[in-house]
Amino acid sequence: DTAVSQTPKYLVTQMGNDKSIKCEQNLGHDTMYWYKQDSKKFLKIMFSYNNKELIINETVPNRFSPKSPDKAHLNLHINSLELGDSAVYFCASSQTTGPYGYTFGSGTRLTVV
């Protein structure tokens, strides 16, 4: 199936731990994104990569580090997790950085305890 897939779907971890979320798309898109959705459903962009190059880096703590080994993959590593990091993290992709809508992955619900 053509899609944007994220793993894991759920992540429960303790404060101070380090965790990673992986994302892969097989849609042939050249741009990928990480969005964070808080408890009030507000979606906010964190990072964007175009052909492995970081093009958007919003005001995100340095504890968050994205990595794009190729244009089909975008991973997110989070160091020293804090309670406030609890949210749903969505990966998305689009054909260009232009005006086209995104295709979202199924999301990773991160709970920090």
Partner 1 sequence: QKEVEQNSGPLSVPEGAIASLNCTYSDRGSQSFFWYRQYSGKSPELIMSIYSNGDKEDGRFTAQLNKASQYVSLLIRDSQPSDSATYLCAVAGGTSYGKLTFGQGTILTVHP
Q: Which residues bind partner 1 (CB under 8 A)?
A: 33, 40-45, 48, 50, 55-56, 90, 97-107
In the complex, the smallest distance separating the C-beta of residue 15 from partner 1, rounded to whole angstroms, is: 25
Q: Is the peptide bond before 8 cis (omega within 30 degrees of 0)?
A: yes
Nearer to partner 1, 12 or 55 (CB): 55
Of the pair 7, 102, the CB lying nearest partner 1 is at 102
Strand partners, 103: 93
13 burial (CB, 10 Å; 0-12 / 13-18 / 19+) is middle
- Least separation, in Å, of the C-beta of 106 and partner 1? 5
